[in-house]
Amino acid sequence: MTKESVNPVAAADRIDHPALATAAAAIDRLLVLGGGYTGRRVAMALEAAGVPVLLTHRQPDPSGNDPGWLHFDPDQGALPSQSDLAGVSHVLVTIPPNAGGRDPVLESLEATLRRLDPTWVGYLSTTGVYGDTGGAWVDETSPTQPLLERSQARLACEQAWRRSGLPVQLLRLPAIYGPGRNPMLSLRNGTARLIHKPGQVFSRVHVDDIVGALLHTIALPPQARPDTLILADTCPCPSSEILGLAAHLLDCRLPEVQRYADVAPSLGPMARSFWSENRRASSRRLRDDLGYRLLYPTYWEGLSSCSGDFF
Ligand SMILES: NC(=O)c1ccc[n+]([C@@H]2O[C@H](COP(=O)([O-])OP(=O)(O)OC[C@H]3O[C@@H](n4cnc5c(N)ncnc54)[C@H](OP(=O)(O)O)[C@@H]3O)[C@@H](O)[C@H]2O)c1
């Protein structure tokens, strides 16, 4: 494996991240484990700044345009070798727990990663580890009390990463949205549902604020990096509110409002699990203590920035 990198970033996707140059200068080579929605966005930003990037998938990109592809599929025994990863200084893990609730990266690659002796390992986790707070705010100091099985698995994976002795930073995320993943798409394809549950809010973060915050934290001196960080915008709100803005931006009708109590039995288990927890995730540490300035402080700026995809 040579020092190849992912697809060039389209000009429209270039974001002015203030910490990009400093972060890029700090990274010899970046390994992004999991080339999904967020992993790919991070990889593209750093590749555009000249950083050699390796991005893993279980399958090659069908378009064949993914020169940085690194095959990582532990279930099939496809693991990168030590020489594939030579020179990697920074690692971002975006892969969730496997079906058994264990961490697929640690299970298959822990010793290899340790031999690389990376400077930084970012682990994308979820604010689901805080469980249900009845809508109260949580921050990095709040107790973790996951109720859902997948969030319990996530907490166990976080703890396993901590025990690994690698320089891990846990990055806890609420719902991720951005171009290609937002409620305007569900309105357009007719799958949006306007559901009201009194008092229920959801927190969210724009994918480019994940990228920006990661760059910001990589650019900090290691001793200034908190070991756990919530990446979220400032405006948890009911999903009906963001759907209302989506309809406004698209100039289309909202679906009929439905009461959660009426529709809950018809929701799938995953959707029901999302509605079963209510909390507000605070990114005060990121913004006030670390000085990161959100690109999209609320869903209003974030969703508006995606509306160009539709016109
Ligand atoms: N989406 C959200 O709203 C949200 C909210 C909070 C936290 N998170 C967490 O944040 C992280 C990034 O989210 P995302 O939405 O960007 O993820 P995503 O688009 O689903 O991408 C996940 C990546 O992980 C890879 N992957 C999954 N299971 C794997 C396995 N067993 N072995 C090898 N590779 C595997 C996938 O590989 P392939 O490319 O081969 O499919 C994909 O590239 C995830 O851990 C997610 O659970 C997500």
Confidence (pLDDT) at 144 = 98
- CA 213 – ligand 1 centroid, Å: 18
- Ramachandran angles phi, psi of 32, nearest 5°: -105, 115
User: 63 lies in a domain?
Assistant: yes
A 10 A CB-CB count for 169 gives: 19
CA–CA distance, 161 with 215 (Å, rounded to integer): 21
Q: Give residue 86's domain range.
A: 11-175+205-232+279-294
Confidence (pLDDT) at 65 = 60
Ligand 1 binding site (Cβ under 6 Å of any ligand atom): 34-39, 57-59, 72-74, 94-96, 98, 104, 124, 126, 173, 175-176
- CA 12 – ligand 1 centroid, Å: 24
- CA 36 – ligand 1 centroid, Å: 6
| Triad 90, 93, 128: Cα angle to 5° | 135
CA–CA distance, 152 with 251 (Å, rounded to integer): 41
| pLDDT tens-digit readout, 210-256 | 999 999 999 999 999 999 999 999 999 999 999 999 999 999 999 99
- Per the structure block, which two tokens stand in for 133? 């707070």
Confidence (pLDDT) at 309 = 74
Output the domain CATH number for residue 135: 3.40.50.720
User: 67 lies in a domain?
Assistant: yes
User: 193 lies in a domain?
Assistant: no
Confidence (pLDDT) at 298 = 98
Confidence (pLDDT) at 4 = 43
Given ligand 1 and candidates 176, 229, 233, which is best to mutate, with the most ligand atoms within 8 Å of its CB? 176
User: 147 lies in a domain?
Assistant: yes
User: 38 lies in a domain?
Assistant: yes
Confidence (pLDDT) at 3 = 40
User: 126 lies in a domain?
Assistant: yes
- Per the structure block, which two tokens stand in for 59? 């399958």
- Considering only CA atoms, which residue is closest to atom 15 of ligand 1? 37
- Considering only CA atoms, which residue is closest to atom 36 of ligand 1? 34
- CA 134 – ligand 1 centroid, Å: 27
- CA 178 – ligand 1 centroid, Å: 15
Q: Considering its fold, how many domains does the chain have in total?
A: 1
- CA 35 – ligand 1 centroid, Å: 8
Of residues 3, 94, 2, the one with CA closest to residue 42: 94
Q: Which residues of 93-130 are buried (b: 16+ CB within 10 A; e: fewer)?
A: bbbbbeeeeebbbbebbbebbeebebebbbbbbbbbbb
Three-class secondary structure of residue 278 per DSSP: coil
User: 74 lies in a domain?
Assistant: yes
Write out residues in the chain with pLDDT < 50, as ranges.
Answer: 1-12
Given ligand 1 and candidates 41, 54, 123, 124, which is best to mutate, with the most ligand atoms within 8 Å of its CB? 124
- Per the structure block, which two tokens stand in for 247? 């309809």
User: 49 lies in a domain?
Assistant: yes
Confidence (pLDDT) at 8 = 40
